[in-house]
């Protein structure tokens, strides 16, 4: 993978290259930033840069040497991936999963590109209620792999995704490795919650704090890489909030936001019709989503309420909606006004809290639907 494939973060790319060229490469780097900003993509591109035999005229991975050929399939013998795993159903109590047990699933995920989320990984694993972690046995595996001589005579790279998912024993073993790293070894830690890492690990890494991707960079990438027309690219880029993952989701007509919009439209249509039986059926349906998805649904309702209220001011630069959402809001916005916008927003926020506290989801959503139908009939005096 080449640096040019990473969207944005030009300054970070230059810093990483300068470390190598100036022989100031630290043995452990910590890439941090919000979801979808490309920290994993940058770490993977840097790993490729370190392992490439011959950089090109643009000072990037050449993409042609034997090392790059192996890296295209992420099968380089000196690049070791570590990631959270689960214990599959039916496993014995003594079984301690390690990353190598899920190599096939991991490579399937990487085949879709370097921008992905922990939720996508858990879905690939078939996880339901299991908590994905990095076990202490995994730390032993890392130690064993890095103790071996580099097969290609260059760097050995240990790329650890979500190191904050290590349990205490595993983290302490990693700390010892980072304190006394094997020769020619570079640790690349990619974290979304670095404050959950051991302070002693954080203090022994050089930290790269990545910001959200610039809207212009996402817009350009949508046009050049995905063939999106300029107007749609502009809308999606603004809506993505600096996340390439969200931008990609917006391209998928079957994505979660599309489903949430359908749910929102259905609830409001039934509310205006005063169809109590229909609202009860709707509540039953959405209450089967699972608590995390239910909270995201309510957050979406709150966002659509905000967007509908702002739409009334006819300031398009303040609105962040897809074309499909805007088509609905054109008709819905007049019902959201100063008399009910706060009440609606608090309704969805409170419901999120209740769901998080394990309240009965069916009752919560039925109550939301009934209260929303009352609030939407409030008009300014």
pLDDT tens-digit readout, 99-135: 999 999 999 999 999 999 998 999 899 877 678 899 9
What is the pLDDT of the chain when averaged over all its residues? 91
The pLDDT of 337-342, averaged and rounded, is 94
Q: Is 347 helix (H, G, I), strand (E, B) or coil?
A: helix
Q: Which residue has the tokens 């069916």?
A: 362
Answer yes or no: are the C-beta atoms of 343 and 367 closer than 8 Å.
no
Token pair recorded at residue 244: 């390439």
pLDDT category at 319 given cuts 50, 70, 90 is: confident
pLDDT category at 315 given cuts 50, 70, 90 is: confident
Quote the pLDDT of residue 254. Answer: 55
Q: Is 161 helix (H, G, I), strand (E, B) or coil?
A: strand
Q: Is 367 helix (H, G, I), strand (E, B) or coil?
A: helix
Angle at 241 between CA 347 and CA 125, to 5 degrees: 85
The neighbouring-strand residues paired with 80 are 158
Answer yes or no: are the C-beta atoms of 136 and 170 closer than 8 Å.
yes
Instruction: Give the DSSP letter of residue 134.
Output: B
Rounded distance between C-alpha atoms, residue 6 and residue 49, angstroms: 13
The neighbouring-strand residues paired with 160 are 82, 189
With a CB cutoff of 8 Å and minimum separation 6, the contacts of 199 are none
Q: Report, in angstroms and rounded to the nearest whole number, the Rg of the chain calculated over CA atoms.
A: 24
| pTM for this predicted structure | 0.74
Rounded distance between C-alpha atoms, residue 127 and residue 123, angstroms: 6
Token pair recorded at residue 273: 């019709």
Total Cβ atoms within 10 A of residue 252: 10
Instruction: Give the DSSP letter of residue 361.
Output: H
The pLDDT of 184-206, averaged and rounded, is 94
Q: Which segment of 128-137, 180-189, 298-307, 370-379 scores lowest on mean pLDDT?
A: 128-137
């Amino acid at each position: 993978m080449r640096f040019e494939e990473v969207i944005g973060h030009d300054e970070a790319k230059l810093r990483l290259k300068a470390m190598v060229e100036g022989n100031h490469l630290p043995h452990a780097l910590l890439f941090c930033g919000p979801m979808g900003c490309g920290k994993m993509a940058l770490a993977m591109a840097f790993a490729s840069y370190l392992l490439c035999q011959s950089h090109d005229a643009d000072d990037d991975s050449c993409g042609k040497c034997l090392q790059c050929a192996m890296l295209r399939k992420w099968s380089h013998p000196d690049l070791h991936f570590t990631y959270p795993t689960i214990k599959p159903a039916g496993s014995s109590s003594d079984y301690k999963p390690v990353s190598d047990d899920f190599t096939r699933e991991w490579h399937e995920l990487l085949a879709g590109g370097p921008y992905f989320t922990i939720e996508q990984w858990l879905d690939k694993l078939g996880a339901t209620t299991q908590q994905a972690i990095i076990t202490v046995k995994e730390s032993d595996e890392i130690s064993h792999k890095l103790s071996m001589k580099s097969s290609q005579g260059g760097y050995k790279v240990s790329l650890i995704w979500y190191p904050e998912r290590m349990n205490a024993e595993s983290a302490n073993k990693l700390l010892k490795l980072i304190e006394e790293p094997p020769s020619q070894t570079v640790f690349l830690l990619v974290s979304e919650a670095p404050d959950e890492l051991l302070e002693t690990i954080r203090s022994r890494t050089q930290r790269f704090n990545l910001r959200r991707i610039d809207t212009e960079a996402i817009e350009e990438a949508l046009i050049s890489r995905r063939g999106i027309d300029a107007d749609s690219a502009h809308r999606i880029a603004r809506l993505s909030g600096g996340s390439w993952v969200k931008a990609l989701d917006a391209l998928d007509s079957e994505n979660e936001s599309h489903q949430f919009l359908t749910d929102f439209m259905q609830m409001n249509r039934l509310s205006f019709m005063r169809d109590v039986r229909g609202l009860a059926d709707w509540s039953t349906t959405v209450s089967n989503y699972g608590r995390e998805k239910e909270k995201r649904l309510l957050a979406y309702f709150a966002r659509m309420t905000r967007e509908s209220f702002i739409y009334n001011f006819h300031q398009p630069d303040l609105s962040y909606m897809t074309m499909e959402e805007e088509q609905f809001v054109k008709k819905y916005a007049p019902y959201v006004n100063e008399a009910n916008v706060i009440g609606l927003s608090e309704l969805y926020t409170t419901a999120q809290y209740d769901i998080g506290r394990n309240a009965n989801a069916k009752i919560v959503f039925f109550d939301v639907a009934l209260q929303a139908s009352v609030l939407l009939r409030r008009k300014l005096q």
